[in-house]
């Protein structure tokens, strides 16, 4: 762990499978932000899946083994908060782990409950704890990049987090948030649901694509990498030129010497 700077804050960073394998740029943006705010980061090698795909498939033994593997890494860690950039991982660790690990030893379950209590979504942590605030000087509407935001089901409906990702976006004065109709309706991903029922998932995803495009936004942001895969698929199939970002990427642009282009 890098030693904490002036902030004195220490986080464990659980990046999740999809960020690790598909969107490492999200983790890179998060680390840039942590460094900027002098936040020490504990990010151990060998992190396991949070287990929600296995549990959703009815495989509780595999789920419990994944939880136990992660607890071996994080259970005794010296940090204040465990932070994740994935809505599904956050919801799973915070709500599902304590409920669905009945067969693990009680000492382990106590550790799980303690870890769940100090688990937060990345945007929520940066706004509520690190103090990231909306930009006081946004660019004029005519010059701003139009961005819309999709609320992941696991983040808004399971954890009640919706204002904080929007505040993180608003911390970048180059962007103007345009709300889409039904921002909190499902994009059709549902994790492995999209693999097992792709036709239905696609029909739901097309509706989400339509609401995104109707805003005229050049960028769509969301806080769940699984939603990002689904939305990317729908936009790509339709030939839409809409960039896809995690809110932390948009905020991290304000800290970089050469911000990434919006599209």
The pLDDT score that the predictor gives to residue 83 is 98
Question: How far is the C-alpha of 147 from the C-alpha of 175, rounded, in Å?
Answer: 6
The neighbour count for residue 106, using CB atoms within 10 Å, is: 7
Quick: pLDDT tens for 120-137: 999 999 999 999 998 988
What is the CATH class of 145-253?
Answer: alpha beta
| Spatial contact of 119 and 84, defined as CB atoms under 8 Å apart | yes
Question: How far is the C-alpha of 243 from the C-alpha of 231, rounded, in Å?
Answer: 10
Quick: pLDDT tens for 170-204: 999 999 999 999 999 999 887 677 777 788 888 99
Share of the chain above pLDDT 90, in %: 79
Confidence of residue 262 (pLDDT cuts 50, 70, 90): very low
Domain positions in the chain: 10-128, 145-253
pTM attached to this predicted model: 0.91
CATH architecture of 10-128: 3-Layer(aba) Sandwich (3.40)
Quick: pLDDT tens for 162-173: 999 999 999 999
For the chain, how many helices (H) and strands (E)? 14, 8
CA distances from 171 to 134, 136, 177, 183 (A): 4, 8, 11, 20
Confidence of residue 1 (pLDDT cuts 50, 70, 90): low
Question: How far is the C-alpha of 126 from the C-alpha of 37, rounded, in Å?
Answer: 9
Identify the three-state secondary structure at position 43.
coil
């Amino acid at each position: 762990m890098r030693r904490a700077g002036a902030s004195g804050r220490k986080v464990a960073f659980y990046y999740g499978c999809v960020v690790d394998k598909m969107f490492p740029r999200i983790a890179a943006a998060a680390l840039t932000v942590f460094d900027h705010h002098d936040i020490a980061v504990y990010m151990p090698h060998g992190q396991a899946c949070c287990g929600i795909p296995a549990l959703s498939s009815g495989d509780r033994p595999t789920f419990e083994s994944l939880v136990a593997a992660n607890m071996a890494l994080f259970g005794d860690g010296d940090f204040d908060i465990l932070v994740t950039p994935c809505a599904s991982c956050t919801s799973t660790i915070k709500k599902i782990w304590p409920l669905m690990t009945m067969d693990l030893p009680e000492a382990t379950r106590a550790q799980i409950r303690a870890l769940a209590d100090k688990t937060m979504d990345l945007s929520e942590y940066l706004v509520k704890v690190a103090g990231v605030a909306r930009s006081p000087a946004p660019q004029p509407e005519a010059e701003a990049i139009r961005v819309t935001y999709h609320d992941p089901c696991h983040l808004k409906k399971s954890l009640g987090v919706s204002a904080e990702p929007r505040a993180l976006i608003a911390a970048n004065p180059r962007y103007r948030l345009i709300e889409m109709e039904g921002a909190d309706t499902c994009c059709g991903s549902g994790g492995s649901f999209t693999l097992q029922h792709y036709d239905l998932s696609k029909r739901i995803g097309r509706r989400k694509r339509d609401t995104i495009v109707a805003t005229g936004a050049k960028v769509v942001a969301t806080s769940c990498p699984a939603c990002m895969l689904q939305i990317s698929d729908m936009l790509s199939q339709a030939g839409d030129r809409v960039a896809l970002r995690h809110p932390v990427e948009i905020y991290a642009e304000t800290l970089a010497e050469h911000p990434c282009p919006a599209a």
